[in-house]
């Protein structure tokens, strides 16, 4: 039997939206939605600098993964991918503005992952800011700077902050794009990585082009 290929999977903004924006909205008493933003660091875009420390203290008491929103079809497509690939969730847990308090992010993310994707072995979890050190056959991430060009198949997952990256740039770097809309990103991932014959889930099968 052919050896399974290894897949590095980003978590935040790819598998789920953590409750970061909810925390911002609660803190500011605002009603922002993700598509209001075009820069990755949404906190820097809306929280006044003089309230940054106060906001990070506010974050300290919250579990951002308690009500994380799982992206449409993410679980269903991952379940299918798991038959064919070794999936390694690869994700940062450091809040650069709160290094000391970041330990709970590791714990909260770990607990969230084992309860939402129990079919992926916890031994595969990689919590790191040094994603570039890891080699795999496939990588999925919403940040261009995280995609490692030495990996054969790199997929840019659509997000509010990467819409303006041009197709020319991606083609030049050999990176594939899972469309422009996070709502359908996982169906595009399925189209790139799976064939009809490999799919068991009829709901996903319906969307496949090949
Ligand atoms: Mg991400």
User: Domain residues of the chain, as ranges?
Assistant: 5-18+68-205, 20-60
Distance 2 CA to ligand 1 centre (A): 30
Give the whole-number percent of the chain exceeding pLDDT 90.
83
Distance 74 CA to ligand 1 centre (A): 14
Distance 140 CA to ligand 1 centre (A): 9
| Mean pLDDT value across residues 36-57 | 92
pLDDT digits (tens, 9 = 90+) for 152-169: 999 999 999 999 999 999
Label residue 1 by pLDDT band (50, 70, 90): low
CB of 15 within 8 A of CB of 159?
Answer: no
Label residue 196 by pLDDT band (50, 70, 90): confident
Distance 85 CA to ligand 1 centre (A): 20
| Spatial CB neighbours of 1, under 8 Å, sequence gap ≥ 6 | none
Residue 89: CA count within 13 A, CB half-sphere: 28
Strands 85-91 and 126-127: parallel
State the average pLDDT for the chain: 93
pLDDT of the residue at 26:
96
Label residue 105 by pLDDT band (50, 70, 90): very high
pLDDT of the residue at 206:
81
Label residue 60 by pLDDT band (50, 70, 90): confident
CATH of domain 5-18+68-205: 3.40.50.1000
Q: Is the pLDDT of residue 6 over 80?
A: yes
Distance 163 CA to ligand 1 centre (A): 14
- Residue 187 backbone phi and psi in degrees, to 5: -70, -35
Q: Is the pLDDT of residue 91 over 90?
A: yes
Residue 132 corresponds to which tokens in the numbers above?
């570039």
Distance 159 CA to ligand 1 centre (A): 9
Q: Is the pLDDT of residue 43 over 80?
A: yes
Distance 160 CA to ligand 1 centre (A): 11
**Model pTM greater than 0.85?**
yes
Q: Which of 151, 56, 131 is nearest to 97 (CA)?
A: 56
| Spatial CB neighbours of 115, under 8 Å, sequence gap ≥ 6 | none
Q: Is the pLDDT of residue 2 over 80?
A: no
Label residue 145 by pLDDT band (50, 70, 90): very high
Q: Which of 2, 15, 1, 9 is nearest to 153 (CA)?
A: 9
CB atoms near residue 156 (< 10 Å): 24
pLDDT of the residue at 65:
96
Four-residue CA torsion sign, 184, 112, 12, 44 = positive
Distance 200 CA to ligand 1 centre (A): 28
| Mean pLDDT value across residues 77-104 | 92
The C-alpha angle with vertex 37 and arms to 31 and 38, in degrees rounded to 5, equals: 180
CB of 106 within 8 A of CB of 27?
Answer: no
| Mean pLDDT value across residues 97-115 | 93
């Amino acid at each position: 039997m052919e050896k399974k290929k290894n897949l590095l999977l980003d978590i935040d903004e790819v598998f789920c939206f953590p409750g970061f924006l909810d925390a911002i909205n609660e803190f500011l008493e605002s009603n922002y939605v993700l598509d209001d933003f075009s820069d990755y660091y949404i906190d820097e875009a809306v929280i006044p600098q003089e309230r940054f420390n106060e906001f990070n203290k506010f974050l300290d008491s919250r579990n951002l993964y308690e009500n994380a929103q799982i992206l449409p079809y993410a679980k269903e497509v991952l379940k299918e991918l798991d038959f064919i690939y070794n999936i390694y969730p690869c994700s940062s847990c450091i809040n650069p503005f709160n290094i000391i308090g970041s330990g709970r992010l590791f714990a909260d993310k770990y607990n969230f992952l084992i309860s939402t994707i129990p079919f992926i072995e916890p031994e595969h979890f990689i919590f790191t800011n040094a994603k570039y050190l890891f080699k795999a056959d496939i990588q999925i991430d919403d940040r261009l700077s995280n995609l490692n060009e030495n990996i054969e198949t790199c997929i840019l997952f659509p997000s509010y902050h990467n819409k303006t990256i041009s197709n020319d740039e991606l083609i030049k770097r050999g990176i594939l794009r899972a469309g422009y809309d996070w709502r359908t990103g996982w169906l595009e991932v399925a189209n790139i990585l799976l064939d009809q014959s490999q799919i068991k889930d009829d709901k996903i099968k319906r969307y496949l082009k090949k």
